[in-house]
Every structure is written in C-alpha cells, then in structure tokens.
Amino acid sequence: MADQIAFTKGHGTENDFVLVPDLEGALDLTAQQAARLADRHAGIGGDGVIRVVPSAAATEPGVLAQATHARWFMDYRNADGSVAEMCGNGTRVFATYLRREGLETADEFAIATRAGTKVVRFEGQGSDALIAVNLGPWRLAQPAIAEDEGFDALVHLPGHEPMSALSLDLGNPHTVVALPEQVDLDALDLHLAPLVNPAPEHGTNVELVRPLGAGHVRMRVHERGVGETRSCGTGAAAAALATRFWAGGQGDTWTVDVPGGRLRVRALPGDEVELAGPAVLVADGVTSLG
C-alpha cells in the first residue's frame, strides 16, 4: 500500500465526506484508517469516508452483481470507520466527483451501493443545480405495530420524557421522533446517542422532526456511528415519509430544512423515494494513511 493517497473533500448540505479514489480497486482501507481520515483533529475531517472503486473490483457479491449496470461502487464508511449501507447526501457528492473526474459524463447514471443500485440525475446548472437520487424502496420496519398505533418505538433524550417514534428502513435504519409541541428542537442535547427502545440490532439514525406546514418539516439528526451531523439525506427522506405516514399518506413532495441547508424529498410510485439537493467539492489534496 502506498504511503500517500489522494483525497477530495466534499459536502451535501454540510454533511461532509472524505473521498478516496481507488480506481484500480487495490486499496484495502481498514476501519482504523477510515476513522483517522474522518478525524477532525488528527485527519482530514468528515462525517464519513467514501472509497471510489469500480463495481467490478468489489469483493462483496451483492456489489459485484450490480457491476453490469453501475460502473462505480460507493464504498461508504461512517466516521468511526464502521461499514454502512449507503448515504443519501454522500451519493450526491460521489456523483459530483464522478462527473468532475470524467468517470461519468451523462446527466443520469447508476451507482452501486451496499443498499442496491441508486440512480442519480443532475438538474439545472450553476449554483442552483441539484442532484436527485432515487433512494429506492422504503418500508416501515415494524408495519403491524406502526399501522395500528402510528408508532413502534420510544426515544429517550436527556431531560425529557420518552418520545414516540416510528422506525423506517431506507436501506439503512432510521427512527423518526414526532417531537411534542412543548419540546424546543434547537435546545435538544444530541451530544450522546439517543436511547431507542426497543434497541435496533444494528443501531439506528435518529431524526427529531418539527412540522412547519403542509409539505414542510425541520429536523436535527444523530447519525449512527457519527454523532449529530449538519444533514442526513436518508434521514431527511425518513423524516418526510414518517410525517407523511402520520398525515394519512397525504403529500408527495416535501421540503426538509436541516442545519446545513434544504433538501427536497419526493414519494414515488412503488414505495420508492427520491432525495434532491446540492453537492459541493471543496478541496483536493494528498495525505498519509499512517
């Protein structure tokens, strides 16, 4: 392994990532190395690390099976180095990198992830440009309970009574809290991971949601393996879908405000969901893996 590697830093609504090109599929990136790259004090700093690798060079059978229609695999790691299924904001940053580097040239193309193939589409030009990604199918994690009661979990935060929540699967796990009116979204302490009961086997992302009007919500999020982030793409989709579920399935297009900006979520036919927002590449460099 080379001592030095190239990297690119990018973000989607301030959810930031370190992208590492591995165009030959030769880099065996360990959890410790990924965590060091994501470290904001001892590394480059980011909410996650994305290895850019040909799908055909992947070692995971589920990814290799996508190689016939998705040339590039988004090998995503959380900030603690743990492997994750995918990342909505990261997908847009990944797609922006592929286009800048000439690895993809079309306005629409497919990307391989551990949560299946995601199709991205570029909309508009310049500073108003958005990247839309079909996140694929979503489902209620416990439909029998959710459809009967509207909720299937309780979330505990410091200084507050347990709050009702809904669990969703968007290829990665989410628990969306229906924030009581008396609770101030901005004052919540998200330094530590909220306690979820029942505790999901593989952990969960937790979204705290405040409705602002028809088709419009605001949220904060604590990401599994990361901590509070300025944005979470699949989390924004989960927040919109949960609010839509509580509203009896009303509304297909949602605006989701996060600390880092604004995202658009659309419910699609066949229980699929689309996320759209900006993506920015901010720096390129070379670093050591240590």
* Gap between the Cα atoms of 216 and 199, Å rounded: 29
The Cα–Cα gap between 239 and 34 comes to 28
For residues 166 and 154, what is the distance between their CA atoms, to the nearest angstrom? 8
Catalytic residue among 29, 74, 110, 232: 232
Q: Quick one: three-class SS letters along 145-168?
A: HHHHHCCCEEEECCCCCCEEEEEE
Number of helices (H) and strands (E) in the chain: give both, helices first. 5, 19
The single-letter code of the amino acid at 132 is A
Annotation marks residue 146 as catalytic: no
Smallest CA-to-CA distance from 49 within 61, 35, 59 is with: 35
Active site residue 220: no
Cα-Cα-Cα-Cα dihedral sign, residues 28, 29, 33, 37: positive
Contact 158, 192 (CB under 8 A): yes
Parallel, antiparallel, or unpaired for β 253-258 and 216-223?
A: parallel
Longest alpha-carbon distance in the chain? 56
Q: Which of 87, 93, 166, 236 is catalytic?
A: 87
Contact 98, 72 (CB under 8 A): yes
Q: Are 46 and 81 in contact (CB under 8 A)?
A: no
Q: How far apart are CA 279 and CA 19, in angstroms?
A: 13
Sort strands 173-178 and 205-213 into parallel, antiparallel or unpaired: parallel
Q: List residues with catalytic annotation.
A: 87, 232
